[in-house]
Structures are given as C-alpha cells and as structure tokens.
C-alpha cells in the first residue's frame, strides 16, 4: 500500500478517536483518557496532516480555527423562522397557558411537558448536512441571521461532525439544530478582569460577552473566549422523525450534541412543570451559567404542530421568567456621571456584593426624580437588583437600618466635568450639560465611535481614549485616523507591537458598512436598530443626509422624535465638517445590497419536486405554479433525483418510497415557509 493510503486510513481512525474523546470530555463531561493521551492523538493527527495537507477535511478536529472573515458576516436565511417565546411571570400565567392549549386542541386528557432552563446567551442555528457541520448562523431578526460558521467551529462543545451511535447507523441527511451559545459566570468574570488590565471596555454581563465574542471577524479571538453551547431544538430535518421534545433532546445528545439533560425534566402534567420551574429558580445561583427563567414546552410534537404559532412565538411554549436577582448592600457615596449626550446620571458606589453570580459595585440611580421618589441617601442600606442585561439599580432603601448619619444628595448646579451651566431638564427629568465641547461628551462620543458595534476599532479601549483626549492628541473621532506610531508608543502600558495592532485596527475600520457608520455618529435616538433601518431604507449615506422629514417619517419604525433628532444632527455645520473629515481620512462605506440581491437564488431554483396528498391551502396546480415561478420543477414519481417530496393530508405510497430513498420530506407548512422567501 502507498504511504498516502496508509496515512488516509490512520487519519480516519485518529479523527474518529479524537471526536469520540471530545464527546466524552465536552458533551458528557466524563473523559475516558488523560489530557496527555488526548494531546498525543492530536499531535499525531497534526503531524500527518502537515505531511499530507491534501488529506485535510473541513471537519477535521484540527480545523477549528480558520482565517479571518473578510468584509463582514454574510446573511443566512433560516428555512424555518427562529421565533421567540411568550413570557409568563406567575403560576396563574402557566395555568392560563395550559387552558389555552386545551381549548385549541379540544383535549381533556393530561398533557405532558418538558421544562428546560432558559439560558441567557444567544440563539444560534447549526446546519448539519450528511453529519458535517456546514453552516452556523445567529438568530438575527428571526428570518435572516448572520453566518458565524468560522466562529462557531472554534467552540469545542459544537461538534464538527455528528456521531452515529452504535444502535442506529443512520443519521439525518439534513438537520438544523438550534441552541444557545453562552459563557459561564466564572469565565465571564475572568475575561472582564483581563480586559480591565488591558484597558478594554468591560462586558456588562455574560450574554453580551458571548454575543461580542461570536461577532468577532477573527476566529482566533473567538477561539480564546470560553464559549459553550447547549442545544434545545431543531428547525428543518429530513430523513428523521421525532415524536416528542424529550425524544428529540435525547436523540440530539446521542448524536454528540450537548444537551442540558441534568436540568431538563419531562413532566407528567402542568403542576409538575410548575414544580420544576420553582426548583430551577431555587437553584439558579448554584448553576455555573446564568438563567433568566425556565422554558415549558408541550412534549408531543404532534400537538406542537397542531398548536402552531402566533406572529412571533409558538403557542406550545412559554418562558416562565424568574424574579430578578436582588441583594442587600450599602451606598458608600453618590456621584454624577456625564454621558456622551451630556446627560447627567447619578451613580451609587456600593459596598461590592454578588448578585446572581456577578460582582456589583455600582448601581444607577437614574435621575434626581428617582432619588427623591425612593428617598435615597449616601450611607443608606439598600436592596439592589439586576435583571437580565440591565445595569444594576436600587430597588429600595431599608429605612430601619438608618443611623441618622446618612447624607441627602443633590444634583450639582454645574457640569461636574467642565463646570459649565446645565440645560434645564428637557423631558422633566434628565439634566444635561449644554456644552458640546465638554470633555465628557467628547470622550463619550469617541468611545462610542470606536466601540464593537460601531466602527469596531479593537484595542482602542476607554483608558486609551481618555489618555489621548487628555493629552490633546485627539479632539474628536476623526482625529483617530491621523494617529501615528509616535503618538501611541509613549502612552501608558503601550508596546510597539500593541501600537501597531491598534493602527492596523484603525486602518481596517475605514472600510465599513452603512449601518455601522450611521450608528457610530452617535445621533440621539439612533441606536443599532434604527441605524440598520435607516441603512436599509436609504442605502447610501448622502441619501440619508439629504432626507427631509417626510422621507424619514415614511419609515415605519421612525417617529417624529427620531426624525427631528436626525434632521437637527445634519443641520449642524460642526457635524457636517466632522463627517467630511471622516471621509477625507479615507472612510468608505459599502453600499447596502437590496434585500433581493442578498439572495439571488430562491431555494426552489433548480430543484425537483414531487407532491403527494391534499394540501390544505392550495391546489396541486397552484403548488406546481408556485414551484415553477421559483424556477423549480415538478414530476409525478419519486426517484433518486427527487429533491423534495411535499406531503399533504392522506399521502399516497410516494411517502414510503421517498423514505426508502431518503428523499427530504416537506410538510405543507415547511413548503410554504420556504416558498415565501424572496
Ligand atoms: S425554545 C420557538 N428553549 O430564549 C421556541 N429557547 O425568547 C424558541 N432560550 O431566542 C426557543 N433556552 O435564545 C428555547 N431551552 C430553551 C431555551 C431558549 C434559552 C432562548 C433562545 C430564544 C429565547 C426566546
């Protein structure tokens, strides 16, 4: 036998072994071999692949970290929309949920449920074709997400290949696995500690840290972030059928996907389900990850199908939300922060306390009104709470603990940063510094401009911006593009290599997207979502700049307040010259492609369909016309060439034949969902 043939056989065996040990370690949390033995296998694999690079396959365990992604993430359309969940907050809500189900299904026997911890991370979809991980995407708006395949591959608990358990060799040809990418509480704190040392902005919570890590263009960075994955559901699947949610979860686990089986419970009735929700709420602090509730799902998939969905959420599931986490601590002092819009926010400095696994030493007091309403004083003992991703806040003062030494707090008459006059509260509550040149507003604006979701200039953290502004080296964000190595190297904790990296990041940020650019400007009321809406609508920056009120108000999401804020921004000469200086510095904006151009090919295009059974919403002829409009073809009988069988009520023998030949099967609903895509 030739050397290369031998190498091929050894590689196959090595990959199988490594995949298996990964499964034991990352999925079952029960390794069979020592780290040294595992490393030995991996080294051997790398050695052979190094010698025969032509034998490397994308799903090899060596291929977890790939090349940086050029030009941003591509859009991915979900073949079945990724819905969200309806929330319930009490036992009563859960009972109502069951009542509605009984009414809709006209069903009186007991209904079984699964109850699953609701992880606070980000929802993703993994597509496996013939067992190989082909695409990973974020949820996005539920219909279109972003292609994060290279980053997902770096997550060890996401298998690159599904395993086939001994008892059933067959795996589905196509399966869309859904689940949550998240970061454990400890790992999150460690990451923030490191970022603080580097002068980088801290993540507010594990969820933001996970989302920020997944949205890195360089998979090397994602690979260093301790991300994990749990699967909890599926989208489209072909060549496999499940009867219940619990069967689905156990099957996913047997294929090597990570499932939170330790805390998921199959419940015989709704009371048991409520019991398990309560149990999860009880133990949530002891879990290594954050959960913000429990998800109750009707166990039977047939019932799920019959219940269907409302506009944004399925009728067969309910998110039972927990009470936000609270803790008691003391306010050392209160001071006032000036944000990038000049808004003055009183902030309480607290005796550090752990709230739901996160260390908290500051809480927002919102504004003077809130302080008055809650009667908060310096030195008070207070209850604070953290809910999901919001900044911790003071819920109430424990007045019984007062000693009489507490000091009342008053908002200053002048800006605590620049000393200038304050503008009277515009909406009765928020007091603003009226000086646009106030250093707090200037640095706030620059920090916003360079941040992850804006121009994403990696390495230019808050502390660096403070230094550069303090030294007078930059007066606004446009000055960033004129920084040189000589400007950076003398700064605190700066080495030449880091300085070079920052300059590269600055340079790379020059090529950007319209939505990022709009968001970066920091126009009041224009957050990420509005920026994206504006980018989609205007497609070119000058069109937005020249838009009048009518143009703006014609957009559904935009009301008069946002429109006025945009118009006032563009009518200010200082802003116009700032924008011109950005373009002079070399900022280029990719034109937004039209929605349609994002997906030139309809998924039906070039595909061969067979129809069987009666469809409930359209006739055979209408279905045929629909397929042909999208450039697909219809034939009468199933062969190995058939791409899809569409199944209606009382299907004929074609269904069995399609199953024999492993032809993917679409329900009417699935067919219509895919057909509806542009
Ligand atoms: S099921 C159609 N199960 O919660 C059902 N979601 O508000 C959709 N989540 O976007 C999701 N744990 O990110 C489901 N065990 C679980 C979950 C879960 C966390 C998240 C998911 C989703 C959000 C829904």
pLDDT tens string 295-308 = 999 999 999 999 99
**523 and 458 in a common domain:** no
Q: What is the residue with the minimal CA distance to atom 9 of ligand 1?
A: 118
**Cβ of 210 less than 6 Å from ligand 1:** no
Write the Ramachandran bin of 131: left for phi over 0, alpha for psi from -120 to 50, otherwise beta. Answer: left
Mutate-to-test residue for ligand 1 from 122, 232, 267, 389, highest number of ligand atoms within 8 A of CB: 232
Q: Is the pLDDT of residue 432 over 60?
A: yes
Residues 6+ apart with CB under 8 A from 550: none
The residue-averaged pLDDT of 634-644 equals 86
How many H-runs (helices) and E-runs (strands) does the chain carry?
A: 25, 26
Structure-model confidence comparison of residues 75 and 621, the more confident one: 75
**Cβ of 257 less than 6 Å from ligand 1:** no
**586 and 604 in a common domain:** no
**Cβ of 132 less than 6 Å from ligand 1:** no
Q: What is the residue with the minimal CA distance to atom 17 of ligand 1?
A: 118
- Tell me whether residue 78 is in a domain: no
**523 and 498 in a common domain:** no
Q: How many CB atoms lie within 10 A of CB 95?
A: 14
Taking each helix axis as running N to C, give the angle between helix 270-283 and helix 91-105, from 0 to 180 degrees, rounded to the nearest 10.
150
CA of 78 to the centre of ligand 1 (A): 15
**Cβ of 88 less than 6 Å from ligand 1:** no
CA of 270 to the centre of ligand 1 (A): 19
- Tell me whether residue 154 is in a domain: yes
To the query of whether residue 399 is one of the catalytic residues in this protein, the response is no
Range of the domain at 546: 513-592
- Tell me whether residue 360 is in a domain: yes
DSSP H helices, 471-527, are 485-488, 496-508, 514-520
Structure tokens at 377: 């004083």
CA of 316 to the centre of ligand 1 (A): 12
Q: Is the pLDDT of residue 542 over 90?
A: yes
> pLDDT class for 168, splitting at 50, 70, 90?
low
Q: Is the pLDDT of residue 96 over 90?
A: yes
**Cβ of 545 less than 6 Å from ligand 1:** no
CA of 47 to the centre of ligand 1 (A): 41
**283 and 144 in a common domain:** yes
- The domain that holds 178 is classified in CATH as 3.30.470.30
Q: Is the pLDDT of residue 428 over 60?
A: no
Residues forming a β-bridge with 184: none
**Cβ of 232 less than 6 Å from ligand 1:** yes
The residue-averaged pLDDT of 60-86 equals 91
Last residue within a domain, chosen from 561, 577, 592: 592
**527 and 475 in a common domain:** no
Angle, CA of 142, 146 and 148, to the nearest 5°:
130
- Tell me whether residue 423 is in a domain: no
Structure tokens at 225: 């972030």
For residue range 146-167, list pLDDT tens digits in order: 999 999 999 999 999 999 876 5
Q: Which of 92, 95, 118, 630 is catalytic?
A: 118
Atom number of ligand 1 nearest to Cα 314: 2
**93 and 211 in a common domain:** yes
Structure-model confidence comparison of residues 12 and 556, the more confident one: 12
Q: What is the residue with the minimal CA distance to atom 2 of ligand 1?
A: 83
Atom number of ligand 1 nearest to Cα 180: 13
**266 and 169 in a common domain:** yes
pLDDT attached to residue 617: 84
Strands 381-386 and 325-338: antiparallel
**517 and 447 in a common domain:** no
- Tell me whether residue 543 is in a domain: yes
**Cβ of 233 less than 6 Å from ligand 1:** yes
Sheet harboring 227-238: ordered strands across? 132-138, 122-129, 174-183, 227-238
pLDDT attached to residue 146: 95
Atom number of ligand 1 nearest to Cα 121: 13
CA of 378 to the centre of ligand 1 (A): 41
Atom number of ligand 1 nearest to Cα 117: 15
The residue-averaged pLDDT of 314-342 equals 91
Q: Which of 214-223, 514-523, 603-612 has the lowest mean pLDDT?
A: 603-612
For residue range 589-619, list pLDDT tens digits in order: 987 766 544 545 788 888 889 998 888 888 8
Averaged confidence pLDDT in the chain = 90
Structure-model confidence comparison of residues 378 and 370, the more confident one: 378
pLDDT attached to residue 390: 58
Mutate-to-test residue for ligand 1 from 122, 138, 180, highest number of ligand atoms within 8 A of CB: 180
Atom number of ligand 1 nearest to Cα 139: 10
**Cβ of 119 less than 6 Å from ligand 1:** yes
**Cβ of 447 less than 6 Å from ligand 1:** no
- The domain that holds 660 is classified in CATH as 3.40.50.10190
CA of 122 to the centre of ligand 1 (A): 9
Residues 6+ apart with CB under 8 A from 257: 27, 159, 162, 177, 179, 231
**199 and 281 in a common domain:** yes
Atom number of ligand 1 nearest to Cα 264: 15
Residues 6+ apart with CB under 8 A from 317: 85, 86, 295, 296, 297, 298
**487 and 376 in a common domain:** no
The residue-averaged pLDDT of 131-142 equals 95
Last residue within a domain, chosen from 592, 616, 647: 592
Atom number of ligand 1 nearest to Cα 122: 13
- Tell me whether residue 68 is in a domain: no
**464 and 342 in a common domain:** no
CA of 654 to the centre of ligand 1 (A): 35
Q: How many CB atoms lie within 10 A of CB 136?
A: 25
The residue-averaged pLDDT of 236-240 equals 91
pLDDT attached to residue 426: 62
- Tell me whether residue 414 is in a domain: no
Residues 6+ apart with CB under 8 A from 16: none
pLDDT attached to residue 599: 46
**286 and 195 in a common domain:** yes
CA of 123 to the centre of ligand 1 (A): 7
Last residue within a domain, chosen from 592, 615, 641: 592
**Cβ of 297 less than 6 Å from ligand 1:** no
> pLDDT class for 387, splitting at 50, 70, 90?
low
CA of 295 to the centre of ligand 1 (A): 7
> pLDDT class for 275, splitting at 50, 70, 90?
very high
Using DSSP's 3-state secondary structure scheme, residue 273 falls into: helix
- Tell me whether residue 75 is in a domain: no
The residue-averaged pLDDT of 488-500 equals 89
Atom number of ligand 1 nearest to Cα 120: 19
Percent of the chain with pLDDT over 70: 96
CA of 298 to the centre of ligand 1 (A): 14
Q: How far, in Å, CA of 343 to CA of 168, rounded? A: 62
- The domain that holds 489 is classified in CATH as 1.10.150.20
> pLDDT class for 281, splitting at 50, 70, 90?
very high
Q: How far, in Å, CA of 62 to CA of 78, rounded? A: 28
pLDDT attached to residue 389: 47
Q: Is the pLDDT of residue 227 over 90?
A: yes
Number of folded domains that form the chain: 6
For the chain, the 3-state helix, strand and coil shares in percent, each to the nearest 5, are 40, 20, 40
């Amino acid at each position: 036998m030739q050397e290369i043939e031998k190498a091929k056989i050894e590689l196959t065996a090595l990959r199988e072994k490594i995949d298996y040990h990964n499964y034991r370690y990352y999925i079952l949390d029960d390794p069979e071999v020592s780290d040294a033995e595992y490393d030995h296998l991996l080294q051997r694999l790398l050695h052979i692949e190094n010698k025969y690079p032509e034998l490397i396959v994308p799903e090899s365990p060596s291929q977890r970290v790939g090349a940086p992604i050029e030009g941003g993430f591509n859009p991915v359309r979900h073949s079945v929309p990724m819905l969200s969940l309806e929330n319930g907050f009490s036992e009563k809500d859960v009972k109502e949920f069951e009542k509605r189900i009984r009414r809709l299904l006209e069903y009186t026997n007991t209904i079984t449920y699964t109850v699953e911890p609701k992880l606070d991370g980000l929802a993703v979809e993994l597509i496996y074709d013939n067992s190989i991980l082909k695409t990973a995407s974020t949820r996005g708006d539920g219909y279109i997400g972003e292609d994060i395949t290279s980053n997902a591959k770096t997550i060890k608990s996401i298998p690159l290949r599904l395993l086939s358990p001994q008892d059933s060799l067959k795996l589905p040809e196509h399966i869309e696995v859904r689940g949550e990418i998240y970061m454990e509480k400890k790992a999150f704190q460690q990451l923030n500690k490191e970022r603080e040392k580097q002068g980088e902005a801290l993540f507010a919570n594990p969820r933001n840290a996970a989302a920020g890590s997944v949205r890195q263009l360089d998979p090397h960075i994602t690979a260093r972030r301790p991300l994990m994955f749990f699967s909890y559901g599926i989208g489209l699947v072909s060549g496999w059928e499940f009867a219940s949610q619990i069967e689905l979860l156990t099957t996913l686990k047997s294929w090597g996907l990570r499932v939170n089986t330790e805390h998921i419970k199959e419940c015989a009735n709704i009371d048991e389900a409520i019991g398990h929700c309560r149990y999860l709420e009880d133990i949530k602090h002891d879990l290594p990850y954050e959960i913000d509730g429990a998800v109750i799902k009707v166990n039977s998939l047939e019932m799920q199908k019959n219940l269907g969905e409302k506009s944004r959420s399925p009728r067969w599931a309910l998110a039972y939300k927990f009470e936000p986490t609270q803790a008691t601590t003391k306010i050392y002092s209160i001071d006032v922060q000036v944000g990038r819009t000049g808004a003055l926010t009183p902030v309480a400095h607290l005796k550090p306390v752990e709230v739901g696994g996160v260390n908290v030493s500051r809480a927002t007091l919102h504004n003077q009104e809130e302080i008055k309403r809650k009667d908060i004083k310096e030195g008070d003992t207070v209850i604070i709470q953290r809910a999901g991703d919001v900044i911790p806040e003071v819920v109430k003062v424990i007045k019984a603990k007062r000693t009489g030494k507490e000091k009342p707090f008053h908002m200053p008459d002048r800006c605590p940063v620049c000393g200038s006059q304050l503008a009277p509260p515009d909406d009765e509550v928020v007091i603003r510094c009226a000086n646009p040149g106030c250093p707090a507003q200037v640095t706030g604006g620059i920090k916003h401009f360079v941040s992850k979701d804006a121009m994403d200039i990696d390495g230019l953290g808050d502390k660096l911006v403070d230094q550069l502004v303090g030294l007078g080296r930059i007066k606004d964000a446009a000055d960033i593009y004129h920084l040189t190595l000589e400007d950076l190297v003398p700064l605190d904790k700066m080495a030449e290599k880091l300085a070079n990296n920052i300059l590269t990041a600055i340079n790379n940020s020059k090529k950007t997207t319209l939505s990022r650019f709009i968001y970066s400007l920091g126009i009041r009321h224009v957050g990420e979502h509005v920026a994206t809406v504006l980018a989609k609508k205007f497609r070119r920056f000058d069109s937005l700049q020249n838009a009048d009120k009518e143009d703006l108000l014609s957009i559904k999401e935009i009301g008069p307040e946002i429109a006025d804020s945009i118009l006032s921004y563009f009518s200010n000469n200082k802003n116009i010259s700032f924008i011109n200086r950005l373009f002079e510095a070399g900022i280029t904006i990719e034109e937004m492609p039209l929605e349609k151009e994002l997906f030139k090919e309809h998924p039906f295009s070039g595909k061969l369909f067979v129809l069987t059974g009666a469809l409930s919403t359209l006739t055979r002829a209408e279905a045929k016309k629909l397929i042909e409009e999208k450039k697909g073809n219809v034939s009468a009988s199933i062969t190995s060439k058939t791409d899809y069988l569409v199944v209606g009520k009382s299907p004929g023998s074609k269904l069995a034949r399609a199953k024999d030949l492993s032809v993917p099967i679409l329900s009417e609903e699935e067919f219509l969902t895919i057909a509806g895509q542009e």
